[in-house]
Structure formats: C-alpha cells, structure tokens
Chains A and B, each alone.
Chain A
Amino acid sequence: MAAVSTRDIVKKFGEVPAVNGISLTVPDGEFMVLLGPSGCGKTTFLRIICGLEKQTSGDLMIGGEVVNELPPRARGVAMMFQSYGLYPHYTVRNNIAFPLKTQRVPRAEIERKVEWASQLLGIGRLLDRRPRQLSGGERQRVALARALVREPTALLLDEPLSNLDAKLRASARLEIKQFQQRVGLTTIYVTHDQVEAMGMGDRIAVIDGGCVRQVGTPAEIYDNPADRFVATFVGSPPMNILSQNGGYLGFRPENFLPKDMMEDANFAEFNYRVDRSEYLGSERIVYGVVEGFDPKQVVTAKLPPAHVAEESIRPGEWHPFAVRTSALRYFDKDGNRTSRH
C-alpha cells in the first residue's frame, strides 16, 4: 500500500490533450473518486497511473518513487475494468491466481492467497466455474479478488459498477466501500455517477476538460463548489444559476423554498412562477422562472412534499419563494467562485 501522486500530468493524442496538467495526491489508504462527464480524461488519467498509457509529460509517483519509466507489471498497482476483463478461458481459481503466476509466486503460496481472497469476497464456491457461468455481481467480485490477491500498492477502479443493475449497484457500492475500509487500500475510483462519488469517496476530484476543477470531501464539493462547472455537475437536479450584475448567483434546489417555510431570518426573496411540478414520492421537483431574471432560465425547486401546502406551488401563479443567505453562492463572469458580487 502506498500513496499515489502526480505532478502536471499531460497526455496528448496527436494534438488533442486528453489530460491537461493534473496534479493530484492520494494519501496512503484514501478512497479517492475521480468524477467527471464522459470524455473528460478521467479514464485516460487512470490508465496512465497503471501504465497502460504513457503520459506526454509530467511525473507519477507511487510510494514516493517516480515510476514514469516502469512498465505496468513493475508498478504493483491493480486495476479493475469496466467490463471486468476476466479471462474467459480460465476458471475463477485461475483468474485469481493469474497475477500471482506472473510474479512466479510458489504454488503453495498461490493456493493460500487464492483461498484468502475468495474467502474475503465470499466466492469460495465459485472457484471451479468459468466467467461465463457467473452473474454480473459474481463477476465483479471475481475481478475484485483478482485485483486484491497480490496485495497491490494501489487499487484502480474504472467505472466498476456500470455493468450492474440499479439494485445490485447500491449493494455493491456499500460492499466496495466497506471492503476498502477494512483492507485500508489506497483506492482511485473513476466514475461519472455522482451518487457513487458522493457515497463512496473520502475525497472527490471533479475533472472536466482534462483538468481538475476541485478536490475535496463530498460535503465540500457539494456545499462549496469551486466553480460553475462543479456546481452544476454535482447535485441532482443541479444548482440553479442566475445571471446577476455581470456574474452569477447560484443556489441549490432544496434551498429554494416557499417563503413561509423559511426558518432563518436572513434570506433573499424571489418571486417565482411555477410552470410544472413532478411528484416523486419522497420529494417534489418544481420547475419555473424567477421574476427579474432571464425568463428562459428554468429554476428548479426540490421540496419535501409533506410540508408544502398545495396552494403555495399552484402552476401558472406567482409565489413568494426564498433562499437563506448562507445558501447563496456567487460566481464571477468566468464562472469562478467569489465571496460576493
């Protein structure tokens, strides 16, 4: 186990930069999530860490050592792929044993470690099956066992849950997180799913256009986004952004409430015309426009249905809404966070 850090990693494919100067430090034992939209460079960055791609420039350190020139097998990192990349012609046992065989670990030792890894992930009874005889969840565990069996310096996961159905994904999320905490393994987890990022990461690095936009705990990312991109990428529905005084004003939909629900004394008031509302059981999403701002800018409110009076959100009418002052966020004209306008 080791810390992984990078300094100004750039990767160009031809003239196009996929990764554009990422400097990131993942301390030993941390669960770091790389979150970003597809094509943002997060997977390329992960492939650079494990050595499948070579960076155009910049340094990569694992355990304090610069490993730029080391081939993948010398870096000691393990990676789990989106489609798992299990070897279809091997049994589960041989799949898990493969990374040990490449390191010429003695046979008895291999047997012991395969046993250990399969116990850890509860796949002992599957050892003699082949990957095609396994369900999606089982394949994922086998891939994880294969990644862990040689006790890697760091574990890299590339969207490992995207092939699972929604229900399995929730339980797998919990499992991976608990598992990582138990083993205390430095983990870098790539995803475009903010629920996975928020739920699992010790810290999240939000990536866009090949650059890190913000690194922070899930709460920091959500409550104090560094710029407009982070503010609108994280959160569902995303943060409302309104043009104001040459900059932007932002607030989260759940902080945008009917005025009579305000408990705080300091709040900013808005006149809100409700156009449409969706009842989703645990919440109600309301779409509309705010008086005095761009009428094309849809503003959403996320309301707890139990506490909102029906008449305060009647469609087509103007209603007094408000946001507590402490929940307002300001961005300058370039989208960077400022304290005030």
Chain B
Amino acid sequence: MVAIADSVPKPASRFRFILDRRDVLGAIFVAPAILYVLLLVGVPFLMAVYYSLSAYTIYNPTWQFVGLSNFIDVVGNPVFRQTLYNTFIFTFGSQILGLILGKFGALLLLRPFPGRKFVRAIIILPWAVPIALATVAWQWMFDSLYSVINWTLIALGIIDRSQAPNWLGNPDLAMLSIIVVNAWRFFPFAIVIFLAGITAVPQDVIDAATVDGAGFWRRNYQIIVPMILPIVAIGLVFGIVFTFTDLSIVFLMTNGGPVGATSVLGFAGFQTGIVSGDVSHGAAISLFMLPVLLVVVIAMLRFIRRREI
C-alpha cells in the first residue's frame, strides 16, 4: 500500500458558504423591506407622536413637551368632533355603497354576455385613473351651474331648474357627493374581490344548494356570501384603512366645505398641521386615526380567523 497523496484538507473559510444558510440569506433579503418600513413609516410615526406631545409650530419650532394638552384642545373643539363624525360617515358610507355595487357588478360580470371580456377590462378604470383627474371630472358633474346630473334630471322632467340641487353647496349633498365619488373609486376593487371569491366557490356546492331547494337569494346569502366572507373582509379592511386616512377627494372636491361638512381627519390634520403650520395640533388630529384603525383591523382579522373554513 502506497499512500499516493496524504494532503491535509484545507479548512473551508467560515464565511465561504454563508449565503447558503437560510437564516442569513433570509435576513439579507428581508432587510430592504424592514429598512423601508422603519425609515419611512416608523420614524415619521414616532415623530408625529412626539410632535403631538410638544408645542411645535413652524413659527416656533420648539420641542417643548406639553403632555396631552394638544389632545385636550383638539377633543374640546366642536369642529374636530364634527370632522371625526364626518370621517366615519364618509368611510362606512362609501364602503357599504362600494360593496353593494361590487357584489352586483360581480354577479353581472359572471354571466356570459357578448363583450364581457372588454367590460371586465374597462370596469377597472375608475380604480386605475389618477384620483386628481377623476375628481376634476366629478367636480364638473356636481358643479352648481354646469352639473350634467342636474341637466339630465331636468331633461327627464324629474326636477325643475329652480329646484336643481346644489350638490357641493348643501352640507348633506356634499357629503353624499364625496361618498359617491369614493364608492365609485372603490367598487372596481370590490368587484375584483367578489369575482375572485365567487369563482373560488366550488360549482358542486352551488349545485348542491340548488338541488337542495335553495333559490337565488338563499343560494347567495346563505351559501356564497358566508363562504366568501373572509376574502371580502380582507378587501373591506383595505377599503376602510385607505378611506379613513384619505384626504385627496375632499381636498380636491370640497376643501372640507361647506362649513366643514365634509372635513375628514386626514384633511383637517393637513390643514392644521401643514397649511396653518400648527404641527403639534395637526399631529394630534392625525393620531386620532390610529386607535380607530387599530380596533377595526384587529376586529376584522380576528373575525377572519374565526370564520376560516
């Protein structure tokens, strides 16, 4: 026996295969996302919390700690309470309207008809069109003089020119208007959610319900809707979060008016904190979104987990 080569194996470098380790590689991949969230969401959030506890304004940028006095000011202000109320009406009104439109839109789009693919494609437009553009179009439709809605109603003989509604001038109608615009924006998303849910319900289950004697309504509301509720709830969480924090429609269409009737939290926070320069009160107003959204999201997620099937 001859030992041909008795070379001692060279110990591999400790770092040579470091990228083969799942934990290291995973951390590297996820790091940009975590950094992004920390720097662009976490830091501004903590700053907002601090601003709301300080006396910071852009005219007097002091970091003086004032405790909860900003919050006490805000809550004591009847205009703010109106704003908070508006935000709820705006959010839930547009979500309910959007869900109803989405449900029926989805049912219609499930039926075969000529041009269905085309309709399915363009129905997504309200969601894809830039909000500023769409809102300008809606503003004209609600205009006090040139409203195409009023024109149509007059032309159809439903109303008289003298009693034509001033959509954006009447507090209730203004709220209705922004709800309609937001629902119009949200309903293609709701249609997609409902379509995804309904097509995922096995045909056998629907057929079984039909043979078991369920008609259209019972099939829809005792079988299909409960089965797609988890996915609809996810869509609703998204809708509520986005609407509750939204200010663009109000900002572009009504500017919160008339007399604060359509002011919502995001808009009021922006007006007070940025436009008026009272950063600390603006931050306090905006932070009122947090507990509400937290409760909504936790409740929804718990509900979804319970309903998991």
Q: Do residues B204 and A73 form an inter-chain contact, with CB atoms below 8 A?
A: no
Q: At the interface, yes or no: B210 with Cβ under 8 Å from chain A?
A: yes
Q: At the interface, yes or no: B20 with Cβ under 8 Å from chain A?
A: no
User: Which A-chain residue is minimally distant from B207 (CB atoms)?
Assistant: A52
Q: Do residues A73 and B213 form an inter-chain contact, with CB atoms below 8 A?
A: yes
- Candidates B207, B215, B222; contact of A85 at CB < 8 Å: B207
* A-B pairs under 8 A by CB, number: 69
- Candidates B211, B213, B215, B309; contact of A89 at CB < 8 Å: B309
Q: At the interface, yes or no: A132 with Cβ under 8 Å from chain B?
A: yes
* Cα distance, A26 to B229, chains bound together (Å): 42
Q: At the interface, yes or no: A77 with Cβ under 8 Å from chain B?
A: yes
Q: Do residues B202 and A102 form an inter-chain contact, with CB atoms below 8 A?
A: no
Q: Do residues A88 and B309 form an inter-chain contact, with CB atoms below 8 A?
A: yes
Chain B positions within 8 Å of A52 at CB level: 207, 210-211
Q: Do residues A99 and B204 form an inter-chain contact, with CB atoms below 8 A?
A: no
User: Which A-chain residue is minimally distant from B218 (CB atoms)?
Assistant: A102
Size category of the A interface is: 20 to 34
User: Which A-chain residue is minimally distant from B206 (CB atoms)?
Assistant: A85
Chain A positions within 8 Å of B226 at CB level: 89
Q: At the interface, yes or no: A103 with Cβ under 8 Å from chain B?
A: yes
User: Which A-chain residue is minimally distant from B307 (CB atoms)?
Assistant: A89
Task: Give per-residue flags for A66-77: 1 if the beta carbon is below 8 A from chain B beta carbons, else 0.
Answer: 000001110001
- Candidates A71, A89, A98, A132; contact of B212 at CB < 8 Å: A98
- Candidates B204, B207, B212; contact of A102 at CB < 8 Å: B212
User: Which A-chain residue is minimally distant from B210 (CB atoms)?
Assistant: A72
Chain A positions within 8 Å of B223 at CB level: 87
| CB within 8 Å of A: which B190-209 residues | 202, 204-209
Q: Do residues A50 and B211 form an inter-chain contact, with CB atoms below 8 A?
A: yes
Q: At the interface, yes or no: A130 with Cβ under 8 Å from chain B?
A: yes
B177 to chain A, nearest CB (A): 38
Task: Give per-residue flags for A95-108: 1 if the beta carbon is below 8 A from chain B beta carbons, else 0.
Answer: 00011001100000
Q: At the interface, yes or no: A78 with Cβ under 8 Å from chain B?
A: yes
Q: Do residues A85 and B213 form an inter-chain contact, with CB atoms below 8 A?
A: no
B interface size (C-beta, 8 A): 20
Q: At the interface, yes or no: A51 with Cβ under 8 Å from chain B?
A: yes
- Candidates A82, A84, A86, A103; contact of B213 at CB < 8 Å: A103
Q: At the interface, yes or no: A336 with Cβ under 8 Å from chain B?
A: no
Q: At the interface, yes or no: A214 with Cβ under 8 Å from chain B?
A: no
Q: Do residues B205 and A87 form an inter-chain contact, with CB atoms below 8 A?
A: yes
Q: At the interface, yes or no: B214 with Cβ under 8 Å from chain A?
A: yes
Chain A positions within 8 Å of B210 at CB level: 51-52, 72-73
Chain B positions within 8 Å of A71 at CB level: 215
* Cα distance, A18 to B307, chains bound together (Å): 40
User: Which B-chain residue is minimally distant from A143 (CB atoms)?
Assistant: B208
Chain A positions within 8 Å of B208 at CB level: 79, 81, 84-87, 146
* Cα distance, A88 to B229, chains bound together (Å): 12
A130 to chain B, nearest CB (A): 7
Chain A positions within 8 Å of B214 at CB level: 73, 98, 102
Q: Do residues A87 and B209 form an inter-chain contact, with CB atoms below 8 A?
A: yes
* Cα distance, A82 to B204, chains bound together (Å): 8
User: Which A-chain residue is minimally distant from B225 (CB atoms)?
Assistant: A89
* Cα distance, A81 to B208, chains bound together (Å): 7
- Candidates A78, A82, A88; contact of B211 at CB < 8 Å: A78
* Cα distance, A85 to B202, chains bound together (Å): 8
Q: At the interface, yes or no: A6 with Cβ under 8 Å from chain B?
A: no
Q: Do residues A83 and B202 form an inter-chain contact, with CB atoms below 8 A?
A: yes
Q: Do residues B212 and A77 form an inter-chain contact, with CB atoms below 8 A?
A: no
Given that A81-B204, A83-B204, A88-B205 are contacting pairs, would A72 and B211 also be in contact in the complex, using a CB cutoff of 8 Å? yes
| CB within 8 Å of B: which A24-81 residues | 47, 50-52, 71-73, 77-79, 81
* Cα distance, A118 to B236, chains bound together (Å): 39
* Cα distance, A265 to B246, chains bound together (Å): 96
* Cα distance, A87 to B226, chains bound together (Å): 10
Task: Give per-residue flags for A164-207: 1 if the beta carbon is below 8 A from chain B beta carbons, else 0.
Answer: 00000000000000000000000000000000000000000000
* Cα distance, A85 to B219, chains bound together (Å): 13
Q: Do residues A98 and B209 form an inter-chain contact, with CB atoms below 8 A?
A: yes
B81 to chain A, nearest CB (A): 40
Of the listed residues A47, A51, A52, the one surrounded by the most CB atoms of chain B closer than 10 A to its CB is A52
Chain B positions within 8 Å of A87 at CB level: 205, 208-209, 223, 227
* Cα distance, A83 to B309, chains bound together (Å): 16
A198 to chain B, nearest CB (A): 27
* Cα distance, A67 to B12, chains bound together (Å): 81
Chain A positions within 8 Å of B207 at CB level: 47, 52, 79, 81, 85
* Cα distance, A150 to B223, chains bound together (Å): 19
A149 to chain B, nearest CB (A): 10
Q: Do residues A99 and B309 form an inter-chain contact, with CB atoms below 8 A?
A: no
Chain B positions within 8 Å of A77 at CB level: 211
Chain B positions within 8 Å of A86 at CB level: 205, 208
Given that A102-B212, A102-B213 are contacting pairs, would A88 and B204 also be in contact in the complex, using a CB cutoff of 8 Å? no
Q: Do residues B309 and A85 form an inter-chain contact, with CB atoms below 8 A?
A: no
| CB within 8 Å of A: which B169-207 residues | 202, 204-207
CB-CB nearest 6 A-B residue pairs: A85-B208, A102-B213, A85-B204, A73-B213, A99-B212, A81-B204
Q: List 30 A-B contacts (CB under 8 A).
A: A52-B207, A52-B210, A72-B210, A72-B213, A73-B210, A73-B211, A73-B212, A73-B213, A73-B214, A79-B208, A79-B211, A82-B204, A83-B204, A84-B204, A84-B208, A85-B204, A85-B205, A85-B208, A85-B209, A86-B205, A86-B208, A87-B208, A98-B214, A99-B212, A102-B212, A102-B214, A102-B215, A102-B218, A132-B309, A146-B208
Spell out A's residues near B (CB within 8 Å). 47, 50-52, 71-73, 77-79, 81-89, 98-99, 102-103, 130, 132, 146, 150
Known: A83-B202, A87-B209, A88-B227. 6 other contacts (CB 8 A): A47-B207, A73-B211, A87-B208, A87-B223, A89-B307, A89-B309
